[in-house]
């Protein structure tokens, strides 16, 4: 199976860590997050992996040219964006996406079973499947419920809202690519709107496993703590957890 890892962003929210190297190379334990993701994908049967790169791309390529110890036997190729094309636009640059393929962000720590997500996608005949996580958002204030006249009808002390959010992992059918024009800047939400407008089947796949986007320093620290406590949780099958 083929997978595409989006690894071209600057990671400005994770500064200053990303001042000297790209976000996909920030370490968890002794490994960059991108190394962990590639080991996970290989374990679940993805042996052809494309990295879309941009910011400090030469550092990502240099890492995988030299970090040979224990790396799984996968084919790694690179597609470099001359200018940022968005979270969906870069897919139009990739040749050979002729069968169901997985796309994911290069800054996600998860214990998701990728093979089960692909099986769900195929079983439902989807054009696109979006990995989702039910995220709880606490509101640290008392929330007043009122009617149109201003009369108070209820009071909720520090409630929580639950929203289904995208986890940055998707399964595509090749047919989706006809909705992406080569060289066009296109972000993923715009692509979803195009698919829905054209009657394509888009479904969400609920992630019941651990998931964390390491997009800011606080979440990065949490990811480090979680990985250091249980590295085997994120490196299934003993794919180099102790190295």
The structure tokens 């005949």 sit at: 125
Please write the tens of the pLDDT for every residue from 3-36. 999 987 665 555 555 556 777 888 888 889 999 9
pTM for this prediction: 0.87
Q: Sorting pLDDT into bands at 50, 70 and 90, what band is 243? A: very low
The candidate with the shortest Cα–Cα distance to 93, out of 23, 8, 197, is 8
Kindly report the CATH number that applies to the domain delimited by 2-132+165-238: 3.90.550.10
CA angle 119, 32, 108 (to 5 degrees): 40
Tell me whether residue 195 is exposed, middle or buried, using C-beta atoms within 10 angstroms of its C-beta: 0 to 12, 13 to 18, 19 or more. Answer: middle
The tokens describing 6, both together, are 């989006």
Q: How many CA atoms lie within 13 A of 166 on its CB side?
A: 16
Residues in the chain: 243
Please write the tens of the pLDDT for every residue from 157-188. 999 989 999 999 999 999 999 999 998 999 99
What mean pLDDT comes out for the span 186-191?
Answer: 96
What mean pLDDT comes out for the span 89-116?
Answer: 95
Instruction: Report whether the peptide linkage leading into residue 146 is cis, meaning its omega lies within 30 degrees of zero.
Output: no
Average pLDDT of every residue of the chain: 88
Where do the H-state alpha helices sit in 67-148?
86-89, 114-123
Domain boundaries, the chain: 2-132+165-238
* Contact of 129 with 30, CB cutoff 8 Å: no
β-sheet bridge partners, residue 6: 52, 105
Identify the weakest region by mean pLDDT among 83-97, 147-161, 206-220. Answer: 206-220
* Contact of 138 with 160, CB cutoff 8 Å: yes
Name the more confident of 119 and 138: 119
pLDDT at 236 over 50: yes
Q: Please, what's the largest Cα pairwise distance for the chain?
A: 69
pLDDT at 85 over 50: yes
| DSSP per residue, 6-51 | EE----GGGTTGGGSS-GGG-EETTEEHHHHHHHHHHHTT--EEEE
The candidate with the shortest Cα–Cα distance to 88, out of 104, 100, 108, is 104
Q: Sorting pLDDT into bands at 50, 70 and 90, what band is 242? A: very low
């Amino acid at each position: 199976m083929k997978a595409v890892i989006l690894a071209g962003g600057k990671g400005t929210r994770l500064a200053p860590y990303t001042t000297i190297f790209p976000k996909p190379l920030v370490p968890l334990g002794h490994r960059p997050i991108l190394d962990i993701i590639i080991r996970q994908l290989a374990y679940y049967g993805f042996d052809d992996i494309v990295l879309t790169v941009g910011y400090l791309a030469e550092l990502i390529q240099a890492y995988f040219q030299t970090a040979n110890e224990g790396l799984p036997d996968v084919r790694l190729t690179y597609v470099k964006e001359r200018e940022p094309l968005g979270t969906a636009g870069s897919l139009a640059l990739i040749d050979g996406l002729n069968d169901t393929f997985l796309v994911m962000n290069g800054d996600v720590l998860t214990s998701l079973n990728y093979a089960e997500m692909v099986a769900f996608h195929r079983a439902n005949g989807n054009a696109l499947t979006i990995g989702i996580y039910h995220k709880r958002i606490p509101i640290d204030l008392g929330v007043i419920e009122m009617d149109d006249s201003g009369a108070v009808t209820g009071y909720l002390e520090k409630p929580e809202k639950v929203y289904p959010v995208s986890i940055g992992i998707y399964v595509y059918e090749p047919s989706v690519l006809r909705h992406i024009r080569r060289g066009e800047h296109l972000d993923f939400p715009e692509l979803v709107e195009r698919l829905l407008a054209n009657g394509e089947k888009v479904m969400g796949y609920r992630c019941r496993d651990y998931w964390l986007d390491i997009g800011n320093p606080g979440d990065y620290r949490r990811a480090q703590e979680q990985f250091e406590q249980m590295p085997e949780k994120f490196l299934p099958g003993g794919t180099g957890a102790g190295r």
